[in-house]
Amino acid sequence: MVVASEHVNPAVIRTLRKDAGGLICTTADTQIQKALGLPFLSELFLGMAEHYPVMRNLIPNDIPYDVKSAFGITINHRKTFTGITDNDRAMTVKEFAELSRRALTSEDGWAKKEFGRSFRAPGHIHLLNTSERILETRFGHTELATALVLMARLVPSATVCEMMGDDGRALSKQKAKVYAKRHQYVFLEGAEVVEAWKTFGNR
């Protein structure tokens, strides 16, 4: 399930939590990453290796579907309490999207300071960093979801959650289609997003 981060509210988080059931994450395209100074988590782990050698052994270099994990840091907004409630997570996502919007047009350095003033880490929202050339070298949910909000001319951040089935596996495509029809949501194949992105990029 994919929602533009700027439109996230407690009801959205509740739907993702109850109807999707996977990990709720918020994406950041490369512009946001640069403006806020966001690292990849694997880079942080590698940097810790001198003091914590085990981290070198944990680098995710054998992911069967990817060459590098998109995981970044985890955050909470400083006005949250535990950070895990629907209200708290919605605040974190919404404020992250708003800061990202302002960061993309602000003077260099301001956004990084404001990020530290407004958020703390670790937290309960997992940030996912897109690859540098979106939908060219990586075609995962992080890139697909971010491409959607970019094409919609929204803040380049999407909030996503994998849909889980009751059989211990990811929800089947057919069941996802039934769910989408029942709730009047749009169902898109990844290939459709990639094709639309090619057209969008050539404008």
Instruction: Give 19-38 pLDDT, tens digit per residue.
Output: 999 999 999 999 999 999 99
CA 116 and chain centroid, separation: 19
CA angle 176, 7, 164 (to 5 degrees): 25
pLDDT tens-digit readout, 62-111: 777 665 689 999 999 999 999 999 999 999 999 999 999 999 988 778 99
CATH superfamily placement of domain 2-201: DHBP synthase (3.90.870.10)
Q: Residue 179 pLDDT more than 70? A: yes
Q: What is the DSSP letter of 21?
A: B
β-sheet with 25-28: strand ranges across: 2-4, 158-160, 25-28, 119-129, 71-77
Compute the residue count for the chain.
203
Q: Residue 61 pLDDT more than 90? A: no
Q: How far apart are CA 155 and CA 197, in angstroms?
A: 16
Using CA atoms, how far residue 156 sits from 60, 99, 123, 135, 152, in Å, is: 26, 12, 21, 14, 9
**Average pLDDT, rounded, for the chain:** 93
